[in-house]
Every structure is written in structure tokens, then in C-alpha cells.
Structure 1
Amino acid sequence: MAGNRPDTGDVHVNALMTNVSIAYINDNYIADKVFPIVPVSKQSDIIAEFDKAYWFRDEMTERAPGTKAAESGWSVTTTATYFCVSFALRKIIPDEVRANADDVFNLDMEAVKYLTDKAFMRREKEFADTVNASGSWTSTGTINAKWSDFANSDPIDDVMTTKRTIADLIGREPNTIVCGKIVRDRLLRHPDCLDLIKYTQRGILGEDLLA
């Protein structure tokens, strides 16, 4: 009936919201957190490696007055190299699309975000493939039980033992541990870990306290 006009459908045309949108962007990339980014000026070069045996050997000796000091030194290995590979991806924005885009779209900014995430994704995959490749790591430690086995596992001792093992090999303790979310969640609920912080002011175990 005309007396009921205009109704809600007559007075509004649906449009894109300007303050809300839905997108999927990964914010949990860890490659640059695990290994620092090293700037280089050349595409390829050699990485000098000071041989460990010379630096870990005790050679300081007593010297009598007027005599020469004992000599020592070290060798440098130059077998390690790097080569930077270029990666690229483009997102074309045709003039017709740009001209016809509603104000809610900032096509240039969205393209930058899109391609930046693609770059991070590729770097993360290269990182994961490299660190998980067979032969990348020397395994010298074992654990008696999975950390999900709360009754029989001892994650604190496992980590401390591994840190000592690494320190024995390279002369310093590691400062980073990488684990998946399933392992992290198990540790956050592990009785041994919870027992360490039960008298803290928070009493709630998070990643900061777990570290």
C-alpha cells in the first residue's frame, strides 16, 4: 500500500562498509626472529669461519724473564658461501579498475600489503625448508618421554640438558628455542612448568614466563 511507502528497502542502497573488512594475513612469521637478517652488498661472497679447535685450546704458558713468549694462532676456513636469489611478484591494477574503484578501496595500499605478505610467506618457506632439511642439524640429545606425557616427562630438565650440550659444542648457551603451537600449548599446561610460577604475582603461565 502506498501509505506504507517508503519502507526500509526504498531508502537505503547497500554499500561497502568503510570501517570493516575481512582479510586473511599471517602475522606469525618467525624467520627473522630465529635468525637475524644480515645485510650484504654483494650477491655472493664467502663466509669466513674461524676453526673452533684453535680457540678452545689452552696454550698460555709461563715465560721466564728475557725469553720469548710462546706463539699461537688460528686458521680460517673459507668453504662456506652464500648466494642471494632474487624473488619477485607483481599485482597489476588496470587503469579501468582503478578508475571504477569505489572510495572504500585503496588499491595501491592493498596491493602493497598483498605483495608484502607474499614476500614474507616465501621467506618463511625458504627458512622452514632450510632448517628442517636433512643434515642441517646434528642431533646429540634424546628425551625419555613426550612432553604431552605429563606423568613421565621432564621438559625443564630436557631443555637444560640440551642447553648444556650445545654450550659444550660451541662455547655458549643457545638463546632461542622454536616449537610448534601444539608443543607450546602442552608446555603451558605442563605441571612442572606451572609449578615453577605458582608463587609469582600472576600465577598464570604465558610465553614470556615460559621463556
Structure 2
Amino acid sequence: MSASHLRKLRGQIDPVLTNLAIGYKQAEFIGEQIFPVVMVDKEGIQIPKFGKGSFVEYETERAVGAASNIITLDKPKFLPIVLEEHDLSVGVDYREQAESLFDEQTKATRRVVSGIQLRQEIETATLLQDKNAYESGHYKDLSAAHKWSDYTNSDPVKDVAEAKETVRAACGVKPNVLVLGAAVAHKLAYHKVLQDMLGANERKLLTPELLKILFDVDDIIIGNAVTAPAPNKQTKDVWGNFAALIVRPKVVPSGNDEGEPSFGYTFRRKGMPVVDKYQEVGGKVEYARYTDIRKVSAVGGACGFLFDKAV
């Protein structure tokens, strides 16, 4: 089934609501800060995986009169990825729209956007906490060592430094981003080892800005989002009891090649997301529908390190 045929099956795309949806992002959602967005033309794609050809040692010295030294580029390996469509819709009765103090269509759009974004957040958190997404040896279960909530015996700075070295040795660059579950970030904010690094007279709450300095990373991202299976059910953390170090590259418009280390990306089809509207119940209920076509994928297991059961 062609993409053009699928577009015709949808209702009338609303550019105003679409712009609202694109600009709306709940503050606690961090998935796309961890896995940068790459726009792609097709739903089925082949992604070049990080290779180590750029690490090969070559003979480069040339004698007078000799031919140039010629090398052969290594062939990239590709990871097949199939994007998935996600959509939600909410109906607004024409009488509700007329009587409400609020713009019900705008409210409906925000609700479906939040629903899709929450699902993306859960998928991203699940992937980041899956030890199978990491290369062998890039995983540590802290329940079998010293959890970071053990202020007397644990040393998170040493643990992170050793993990950074493991990643550097595997992919050539140190991880530049530390991702923390909310409960882990809370415990680290009062950790004795970290407090001592500030000096005896500098006891204070350790903010993410201070933690960036102490752990020597470019960014610290804390997952605060919560979810519930139903409106009357208790909420739970989307981001669990973990910490992860990752290499996050700067995405260039021309595309990153297989020589650019990266733990993962969010692949999104060009033109997405969109909001369209369609009518049912004899035209008296108008539905606002949000559609996104995307896939979150880990493409470089050597470019990350996972700490499980951190507190």
C-alpha cells in the first residue's frame, strides 16, 4: 500500500492544529533528547551501523617517486528498520464546542498528542534500560555490588569514570550524556562522595548542573515522567531505577555516516506528525486525530553503558 494512498485515506489535515501539535511537548518527556530525531523518506529503511574502519592503522609514508598509498574503504553494515504508525483521536460534539468555555478542538488535540508522546517515552525508556541493547561488558547490576543509595560504601563517580573508559575503548569516544531515573537522581543529590568533592564548606543540594561538572559529561537528563494504566490507578515512573551513559552525536542535515559513533536515534518519516479531522455521527461529532510514523532504535551498543538497580 503506497504512502500516497494512505494519505488519501486520512481526513482533512488541519495545518493550525498540526503546528500546535508539533510545538507542544510536555516538559517531562525526554526521549528525543536521548535519541535525536532523524527524518527519513520511507517507512522501511536501512541504517548504516557504526564501524571501526576509521580506527585502522595505515602505512602513510611515501618515498620519492613512489606511488601514492591507496586504501580500500570498508563496507558498512546495515540495520533494517521499519517505522511504525501511531495514532489517537478524540471526538468533540458540536454542542460541546459551542457551549464550552475552552476551545475543545485544541484541548482534544493536546490530549491525543500527549497520549502518543507518552507511548514514545515508554518505548524509549524500555529500550534504554534493555541490557540486550548494549555490547557485552557494557552492563553492571549494582545490586550485586554497591548501590548508589549506599552512601558509605558506593562511589558513583568511580563507577561512571570506569564505564566511560569502557565505552571509549570500544567506540573511540567517551559518552557525553548521563541519563538518570528520577529516583536515582534524587539519591545522587545527597551522596556523600559527590558532596565531598565540593569541599567541606560547600554542602548543598546537587543540581543537574553541578552533577554535570562532577561526572564530567556534557548533559545530564533526568526522567521524571509517570504513567498510569487507567485514570483511577496509581501512577508509576516511566523511567526506572537505572543510569545510562550514552554517546549522543550532533545530527547533521546531510546525514551522519557509519563512522559517527552513536547509541541510537529516533527515526521519523518526513511530513510527520500531522493532525487531521474527520466527522462521524451524521457530522455532529468531529474527531481530532494525531498521527506519527516513527521508530526508536539503538544502533550502536558499544556506544553506551547501563547501570541497573542503581538505588
TM bucket normalised to smaller:
0.7 to 0.9
Provide the residue aligned with 1:121 in structure 2: 118
Provide the residue aligned with 1:20 in structure 2: none
- Alignment partner of 1:208: what SS? helix
Selected match of 2:100 from 102, 105, 125: 102
Provide the residue aligned with 2:69 in structure 1: 70
Q: Which runs of 5+ in 1 are unaligned?
A: 1-24
Provide the residue aligned with 2:166 in structure 1: 165
Is the contact between residue 146 and residue 153 of structure 1 (CA under 8 Å) also seen in structure 2?
yes
- Alignment partner of 1:63: what SS? coil
Counterpart of 2:103, as a letter, is N
The farther-off stretch of 86-95 and 60-69 is 60-69
The alignment's TM-score, normalised by the length of structure 2, stands at 0.54
The whole-number CA distance in structure 2 between the counterparts of 1:202 and 1:62 is 56
Provide the residue aligned with 2:184 in structure 1: 183
Return the offset for 1:184: 0.9
1:163 and 1:87, CA in 2 relative to 1: closer, same or farther beyond 3 A?
same
Provide the residue aligned with 1:59 in structure 2: 58
Give 1:2-21 correspondences, 5 Å limit: none
Return the offset for 1:65: 0.4
1:125 and 1:50, CA in 2 relative to 1: closer, same or farther beyond 3 A?
closer
Counterpart of 1:37, as a letter, is V
The farther-off stretch of 131-140 and 85-94 is 131-140
Is the contact between residue 167 and residue 173 of structure 1 (CA under 8 Å) also seen in structure 2?
yes
The whole-number CA distance in structure 2 between the counterparts of 1:176 and 1:200 is 29
Counterpart of 2:32, as a letter, is D
Is the contact between residue 49 and residue 76 of structure 1 (CA under 8 Å) also seen in structure 2?
no
Provide the residue aligned with 1:46 in structure 2: 46
The whole-number CA distance in structure 2 between the counterparts of 1:123 and 1:92 is 22
* Structure 1 consecutive aligned stretches of length 4 or more whose deviation exceeds 3 Å: 141-144, 198-204
1:153 and 1:125, CA in 2 relative to 1: closer, same or farther beyond 3 A?
same
Is the contact between residue 146 and residue 154 of structure 2 (CA under 8 Å) also seen in structure 1?
yes
Q: Which runs of 5+ in 2 are unaligned?
A: 1-24, 213-311
**1:28 partnered with 2:25:** no
- Alignment partner of 2:137: what SS? coil
More helix by share: 1
Provide the residue aligned with 2:81 in structure 1: 82
Return the offset for 1:55: 1.7
Aligned residues: 184
- Alignment partner of 1:86: what SS? strand
Return the offset for 1:80: 0.6
Residues 142-193 of structure 1 show CA distances to partners (whole Å, capped at 9, x for unaligned) of 4641111111111111111111110110110111112212211111111111
- Alignment partner of 1:205: what SS? coil
Taking only aligned residues, the RMSD between alpha carbons, in angstroms, comes to: 2.4
Is the contact between residue 150 and residue 191 of structure 1 (CA under 8 Å) also seen in structure 2?
yes
Provide the residue aligned with 1:19 in structure 2: none
**1:140 partnered with 2:141:** no
Provide the residue aligned with 1:8 in structure 2: none
The whole-number CA distance in structure 1 between the counterparts of 2:77 and 2:61 is 34
Larger radius of gyration: 1
